[in-house]
Structure 1
């Protein structure tokens, strides 16, 4: 009896039994995050999946209607944060599908079908736009964006949203999977280039840069002979047997240093030879190729150049990486670059009309 009174007493307030509050179930607890690409999703009965999908994405609906409905449902079925939400909205807008129109899908009579070129949109969004035009600098964007894109494309494929585009979706997913590896590497390279060698060459031989170069001996017998602005593709990265001195920052050099003192204050760092194949002037990428077929020209047909890049930075350049920059040739045959930006191997130049500035 005393035990019962004690138990009741713990739940009584002013002589009334206090009701225990029921815990609300968190509906989002078991939902995947927006950057979960579900690559390891367990196999499902395809006929059952197709039957369930047909109830939502009815074949009688236009591809445009099904796609817009999928945009809406994908957001409902995933957990988003500020970054993943921004990435997905930007991706939709880039592809010509305004996410704000999805909410009015059932209230407006929209008979316009919009064809989405999945391969182009993914290639351009995760290469030229992400690297050069997005304005995103945080490394998280470059690791997360490909995952968000893979997740959405796999959603379209698994839910049978637009089965008429299944082949294109699979190719687009393959490209986005590559981006998970290549985009973060390109961002790291671009954040750290130019290295000491290419920076110093720019200061010494390019008059566009005006710095105090006291303390650096200029080899007067070497002069600037050529300049090219173009795309090139990485075809080889070979570590050098010997290292090059990393000169002290020329901007902070206040007075001329003797050769011996300068050598003592230099840091020797390993460099690599990066061999580049020139791509045609005006080249803007080709979505009809894949990483296994991109290098279609033979050695005899390719015009190649070699630049020197600090080995730490060169490690971010994979075979097939596309670089764009200004390449200068000295009278002794040495080529240096500034500026120089790396893009994924599936690089496609974005259509400037896709996104307003």
Structure 2
């Protein structure tokens, strides 16, 4: 088999499609392989660059390929799509990955280690449980409203639902109906289970964060709490894949979206690119900081106060979230800590 300088792999669950090129960009071979056949092929292949799309299973496979002596790179699928030529199939996708990776200005995704992947899984599981808990809360409120019982908004009243229902003077017929159906009791037990699981996950995330040096240093940022710090540690890694703090803020979608033409600059709202969850958490941290702005001290607090005098609070929250993202990148790459003043809050 001819040696290749660049191999593009279109990932699948059981089958993988490979497109290999030499240093001049000429095709060397095309192969379809299972997972076992893929690893055997790469073991016998001289050291080269192996590129895949960043998707499910790509980070683990990138670590295994790097252990074989190859240079494993991940590329965002949105950057591969413009290089698909003609009709779409798996081999053409693998070729498009090679074409995209050969561009000198292409940006790559840094493969995550096992600890980062574990944190990412915990956060996705937590988000799923929170969605289910919100659904259960809304159903409980809706069922009670059908019987004329209007409860305050929020989950605090749902936690003590049995005592709340006991306080209402329910008709005997209605009480018997609810006891017979047992829908509210079953739904309340489901809510209690979800609430306990979310609290257990929060403790697990906090425990892993205490053992992580980067996460512990990110906690020193004003307004940033355990959830946001762990998400930053999992998604940003060592931060070396970004040339500057502005690049990281842009990857999260916290910079203005530019639409300039004819030499005329036109900046619009934030681009909202990248990780939606991380952007939401950073904005929430900014709002938590602004809620206790009168207790904050330092250059950051003075900057926020001056900005609030001339811009809307929503604009200031996005601007502060941008600055928090840039501070997080600086702390991660420079192995430093944020020197907080008195009265900083966490979220």
TM-score of the pair, normalised by structure 2: 0.25
Q: Whose radius of gyration is greater, 1 or 2?
A: 1
TM-score, normalised by the number of residues in structure 1: 0.25
Say which structure is richer in strand: 1
Higher helix content, 1 or 2: 2
Q: RCO greater where, 1 or 2, for CA within 8 Å and sep 6 or more?
A: 1
